[in-house]
Structure 1
Amino acid sequence: MKQPGFFDVEERLARSSGLGDQLEAFSRTVDFEAFRRDLEQALACSDGSKGGRPPFDPVMMFRILVIQTLNNLSDERTEYLINGCLSCMCFLRLGLSERMPDARTAWLFRERLTQAGAIEGLFNHFDTTLRNAGYLPMAGQILEATLVAAPKQNSNAEKNNLWEGRIPEDWQDKPAKLSHKDRHARWTLKFTKAKRQDDGTMPSSDLAIPFFGYKSHVSIDRKFRFIGKWKTTNAAASDGARLRERLLGKTNTASGVWADTAYRSKANEDFMEKQGFVSKVHRKKPHLKPMPRHIQRSNAGKSVIRSRVEHVFADQKSQTGLFIRTIGITQSTTRIGLANIVCNMRRFLFLERINAAA
């Protein structure tokens, strides 16, 4: 076995950097210290005058949540990764001999942020950072929603009781079981395009697949594709009704709003007109009538712009594997909020890299 050298760690980190270490790019581009004030206010950190073991640095713990979100990790796998990955240790600015947070500590930190409702404030703080960096929303906004899966854990009878707002009888006298049951996630149908069959024929209609979990509603800037506003609901919630629930941002200097037909309603059109927005929402096909040619062309032009929001969801699901591992809509809101912050960070890295190359 080769004798360890004095510079083995430095050489390994240098090789990781040469291969394109994403965490190193995060440290170099994102100012995590800017989150310190919001984190300390949310956590109500003590000054240590009463003694006891000093808490972990809140900024370092927030960096752990970024690692967890980037890799879609459970708390236990997060503990394993930050203890065994040199790149993670460097990102957390911890040495090999320093004390590492365990899974329970990471869970408690995220839970305290959830109870304090701090995720929205952290998201808004980074949104301000993006504006200060010159990424001003000035080209209109695009609205869309995507389903986020959660573990399926309820029987049909339990599902019906929850849908009607009742707690199943066999849960009421079992508080431990009740605390581990997700009473906010809902079932819905996810419609997907039918694929060509083996014999070459196409099914007559799209596929309807049962889906259990939550729904992430976002509004993104048309030009830079940063998430500006977001909201979390159960999977069965209506997309169109969310438009009037603070999902449109007035800081965007352009008034155009793009969305699919789920957002087309008289209430939404009246709301946008009253608030000074210009509706670019897709028009629906007339009932039992062919779609007029001019509306087809108009919808096609809108689809070219509206499709940009799908890149955001693709980044969250294919790159970071967005999935709900927690119980209840409060914790799920924190999970989706962290995913939105990390998504904006990744987009910020991408744009900064392009600007540097130019």
Structure 2
Amino acid sequence: MAGLFDYEFQLDEIKKHQPPLQKLNEIIDWELFRKPIEEALNKDDRKSNAGRKPYDKILMFKIVILQRYYNLSDEQTEFQIKDRLSFLDFLGLSIGDNVPDRNTIWLFKEELKEKDLSKKLFDTFTSKLISNGVVAKEGTLVDASFVKVPKQRNKRVDNADIKKGAIPLEFGKNKNKLSQKDCDARWVTKYKTKEFGYKDHVSVDQKTKVITSYTVTASSTHDSQAIKELINEDDTILYADSAYKSQEIEDYLKENNVKSKIINRAYRNKALTNNQHKLNHKHSKTRVRVEHIFGTLKTSLNNGLSLKSIGFERIKSITGLLNLTYNLLRYEQLVRLKNIPIMKS
């Protein structure tokens, strides 16, 4: 029968080959997130001492980060925590400890959604990176990527109502049916492929590839429409692809003292000049770095931009957690590969 020594030996062996997520415990002060979580979720929300003590908020927060890293459902998350020593170790749990069940995990995520906490937690960590000089703000990249959600199979008349922003009459009469329908996501065609879902618009520090701000919209929203929500007051240079090229955006950047390095686009009967071609080539070398972020979200985070949830508010919250998870992992890379100093508490 295995004993404590066997458990500790197995754990030591796992740590020798630990993935980046496990390494986060060595460099992240998770208590940084306690104040915003407990302030929003009312740390003294128990009106009675009866019953089981609520799970620690930081434990629950680390569980949803774990969930985003592996793109797991609530049911899968509960099982994997119980099954994998590496998950227990990351969460600071031991074999035999109580583990939050799928319903508890779901309820915690709903609380995050209701309080728009994902954005607050993202901003908390990003502000820490900026104040510690990890993010230098020497240039900003903007772009957007699809966030896929389960496809909806509706009647044509229902789809017509949804496109108008209205809830179909049949859905309104049946609350159970309405809860299973996503009336916020939209179909869009790109590269001859139809996608259903939302968009994750991001602003990225060009030097460190840290996401500094983001916004979530339906997938039918044009990339350029989110630009004002992505520009921060301390941005000085903006790199973007030609989808963002318009006189309105150029004027907005000029008004905010941001130098435009947006890729020039050719128009009908107006080809690009040699100088514009040279500038495009030069700026593209920097702009392409933003594609690496989406590559990480799709591959390293287990197809993280394909979600199993529905509804705008829920997708917005989960996408915020996904962007935060990316930043946590990117910070670990910067410490490990670029010798960035570990931030003080």
Q: TM-score, with normalisation over the residues of structure 2?
A: 0.94
Measured in 2, the distance between the counterparts of 1:39 and 1:270 equals: 39
Measured in 1, the distance between the counterparts of 2:288 and 2:148 equals: 22
| Aligned match for 2:196, one of 206, 212, 226 | 212
- 1:1-358 matches, within 5 Å, as 3-46=1-44, 48=46, 50-52=48-50, 53-155=52-154, 157=156, 158-191=158-191, 208-244=192-228, 246-252=229-235, 255-320=236-301, 321-322=303-304, 323-356=306-339
CA contact (8 A) 2:203 2:230 kept: yes
**Comparing 303-312 and 324-333, the one that deviates more:** 324-333
CA drift at 1:318: 0.8
Structure 2 equivalent of residue 205 of structure 1 = none
Structure 1 residues 217 and 357: alpha-carbon distance in aligned structure 2, compared to 1, 3 A threshold: closer
Measured in 1, the distance between the counterparts of 2:126 and 2:253 equals: 23
CA drift at 1:131: 2.4
AA of the residue aligned to 1:4 = A
Deviations 1:254-285 (A, max 9, x none): x1101111111111111111111111111110
RMSD of aligned Cα (Å):
1.7
CA drift at 1:326: 1.7
Structure 1 residues 23 and 136: alpha-carbon distance in aligned structure 2, compared to 1, 3 A threshold: closer
Alignment length (residue pairs): 337
Measured in 1, the distance between the counterparts of 2:45 and 2:271 equals: 69
Measured in 2, the distance between the counterparts of 1:221 and 1:40 equals: 30
Measured in 1, the distance between the counterparts of 2:58 and 2:234 equals: 28
CA contact (8 A) 1:137 1:251 kept: no
Deviations 1:334-358 (A, max 9, x none): 1110010011011100010024499
Structure 1 residues 71 and 295: alpha-carbon distance in aligned structure 2, compared to 1, 3 A threshold: same
AA of the residue aligned to 1:272 = L
Measured in 1, the distance between the counterparts of 2:6 and 2:312 equals: 46
- SS, match of residue 230 in structure 2: coil
Higher relative contact order (CA 8 A, sep 6+): 2
Measured in 2, the distance between the counterparts of 1:315 and 1:284 equals: 28
Structure 1 residues 8 and 357: alpha-carbon distance in aligned structure 2, compared to 1, 3 A threshold: farther
Measured in 2, the distance between the counterparts of 1:310 and 1:136 equals: 18
Measured in 2, the distance between the counterparts of 1:239 and 1:4 equals: 56
CA contact (8 A) 1:23 1:87 kept: no
Structure 1 residues 47 and 74: alpha-carbon distance in aligned structure 2, compared to 1, 3 A threshold: closer
Tell me, which stretches of 5 or more residues in structure 2 are unaligned?
A: none
CA drift at 1:156: 5.3
Tell me, which stretches of 5 or more residues in structure 1 are unaligned?
A: 192-207
Structure 2 equivalent of residue 202 of structure 1 = none
Measured in 2, the distance between the counterparts of 1:155 and 1:294 equals: 50
Structure 1 residues 178 and 135: alpha-carbon distance in aligned structure 2, compared to 1, 3 A threshold: same
Seq. identity, %:
31
CA contact (8 A) 2:237 2:258 kept: yes
CA drift at 1:140: 1.1
AA of the residue aligned to 1:163 = K
**Deviant stretches of 4+, over 4 Å:** none
Measured in 2, the distance between the counterparts of 1:22 and 1:279 equals: 35
Measured in 2, the distance between the counterparts of 1:290 and 1:71 equals: 46
